[in-house]
Amino acid sequence: MYGFGDMIQKLKANPKTIVFPEGSDPRILEAASRLLAGNFLKPILLGNEADINKSAEDAGYNIRGAQIIDPDNFDKFDEMVDLFCELRKSKGMTPEKAVPILKQTNYFGTMLVKMGLGDCLLGGATYSTADTVRPALQIIKTKPENTIVSSCFILVRPSATGENEVIAMADCGININPNEDELVEICGETVNCAQRFGVDPKVAFLSFSTKGSAKDDTVTKMQNATKKAQEKYPDIPIDGELQFDAAVSPRVAKQKAPGSAVAGHANTFIFPDINAGNLGYKIAQRMGNFEAYGPILLGLNAPINDLSRGCNAIEVYSMSIITASLA
């Protein structure tokens, strides 16, 4: 498991608050108790206070110190409704429509972040990815310089030297078939995320072709995206289009991409579409013995992340640290 030591030390120096929409879920409560014991991250648990406390007590989790907020008993709810109506006025939002929407903890929690009452949010233990991402797009929205929300996975495994091998893969979870400019944006966001994990990014734009060895519209897309990324991020080693073997094997790279500063040593991988990305990270996870952290959502004005509904408490704990570190 990735140690998260550097991230935890930074959070201890500058503690953050993290909102959990599914506040009574046992996995959330276990992770929250561990976060509170570490004294570097303050959980905000959403739901009925009596129900949450009973669930924690029954399971033996100490959540003393966590803030519990019930959407049905929130003193700033009227303020929240007004802000939500302002944000969604172009869609015809009214207070009558807003109230039932904001009683849902996925929307309520996202609004807490928007109002500055929480630094970040981690949902999805019971909500679907769509139900976590949709409020973020509607309320938090993308950064001014971004046009899309994307995602990456950070994959970690022990290396022969005893250090962790850490790589980044994108986009494996959000954009179905990104165009050239969107791939450039995905590249920039993934590079920034990888650097948070101590990766010195060497970026490969992946394809079934290396340096024009095959012809196809998808090959052209990756070639053009590579050129645009190299122009936009001149200080980052970027190359493409590369087949995966040329990207990671020095021997193959000498044959297929001689002279490349990235080929044979890539650690940050940009896939042409979600089919390749999703398959790629899962193959690495299941057959390469990598631990996969993500999807980490990128491009939003505040960190909002999504859990798998099949997650365990350790994964909640890990993703909490990652999410807060992006705040």
Give the fold, CATH level 3, of 5-141+300-325: Rossmann fold (3.40.50)
Burial class (CB in 10 A: 0-12, 13-18, 19+), 204: buried
| pLDDT tens per residue, range 20-53 | 999 989 999 999 999 999 888 999 999 999 999 9
Token representation of residue 105: 């903890």
CA dist 154 and 136 (Å) reads 21
Written as one letter, the residue type at 160 is: A
| pLDDT tens per residue, range 78-88 | 999 999 999 99
Token representation of residue 228: 């645009």
Per domain, the residue ranges of the chain are 5-141+300-325, 150-292
pTM of the shown model: 0.88
Residues sharing a CB contact under 8 Å with residue 110, sequence separation 6 or more, in sequence order: 121, 135, 136, 139, 140, 304
CA dist 99 and 183 (Å) reads 38
CA dist 69 and 25 (Å) reads 15
CA dist 12 and 157 (Å) reads 26
Residues sharing a CB contact under 8 Å with residue 261, sequence separation 6 or more, in sequence order: 202, 237, 239
| pLDDT tens per residue, range 100-109 | 999 999 999 9
Q: Over 70: is that where the pLDDT of 179 sits?
A: yes
Q: Over 60: is that where the pLDDT of 1 sits?
A: no
CA dist 273 and 233 (Å) reads 21
| pLDDT tens per residue, range 114-145 | 999 999 999 988 888 889 889 999 999 999 99
Helices of type H across the chain: 5-13, 26-38, 49-59, 77-87, 95-102, 105-114, 129-135, 180-196, 217-232, 244-248, 250-256, 274-287, 313-325
DSSP conformational letter for 129: H
Enter the CATH code of domain 150-292: 3.40.50.10750
Give mean pLDDT, residues 146-150.
93
